[in-house]
Copies of this chain bind each other. A is one copy, B any other.
Amino acid sequence: MIKAGIIGGTGYTGIELIRLLVMHPEVDLSVVTSRRYKGKKVSDLYPHLFPFIELEYEDVDTKEIAERSDVVFVAVPHGTAMDYVPGLMAQGVTVIDLSADYRLKKAEYERVYKREHKDKEEREAVYGLTELHPEVAEADLVANPGCYPTGAILAAAPLVNARLVSQIVFDSKSGISGAGAEPSETSHFPNIAENIIPYKITEHRHVAEMRNELGVKVSFTPHVIPSIRGILTTAHVFLAEAAKPQEELEAIYKRFYAGKRFIRLREGTPSLSSVRGTNFCDIGISVEANSDRVVVVSAIDNLVKGGSGQAIQNMNMMFGLKEEEGLWFPGLVP
Name A's B-contacting residues (CB within 8 A): 12, 15, 19, 22-23, 46-52, 169, 171, 173, 175-177, 181, 183-185, 187-199, 201-203, 219, 221, 223, 225-230, 232, 234, 236, 264, 266, 268-269, 271-278, 282, 286-289, 291, 293, 295, 297, 303, 329-334
Q: Is the CB of A193 within 8 A of B48?
A: no
Give the residues in chain B near A169, CB-CB below 8 Å: 169, 171, 236
Q: List 22 A-B contacts (CB under 8 A).
A: A23-B330, A48-B278, A52-B329, A52-B330, A173-B196, A181-B188, A181-B334, A183-B188, A188-B189, A189-B193, A194-B272, A194-B273, A194-B276, A196-B230, A196-B232, A198-B232, A198-B297, A199-B269, A203-B289, A221-B236, A225-B225, A228-B334
- The distance in angstroms between the C-alpha atoms of A223 and B236, with both chains bound, is 14
Give the residues in chain B near A22, CB-CB below 8 Å: 330
- The distance in angstroms between the C-alpha atoms of A184 and B229, with both chains bound, is 19
Q: With A47-B268, A295-B201 as given contacts, are A333 and B19 in contact (CB-CB < 8 Å)?
A: yes
Nearest Cβ in chain B — how far from A225, in angstroms? 5
Q: Is the CB of B334 within 8 A of A12?
A: yes
Q: Is the CB of A194 within 8 A of B293?
A: no
Nearest Cβ in chain B — how far from A334, in angstroms? 4
Which single member of B19, B194, B269, B289 contacts A197 (CB below 8 Å)?
A: B269
Nearest Cβ in chain B — how far from A189, in angstroms? 5
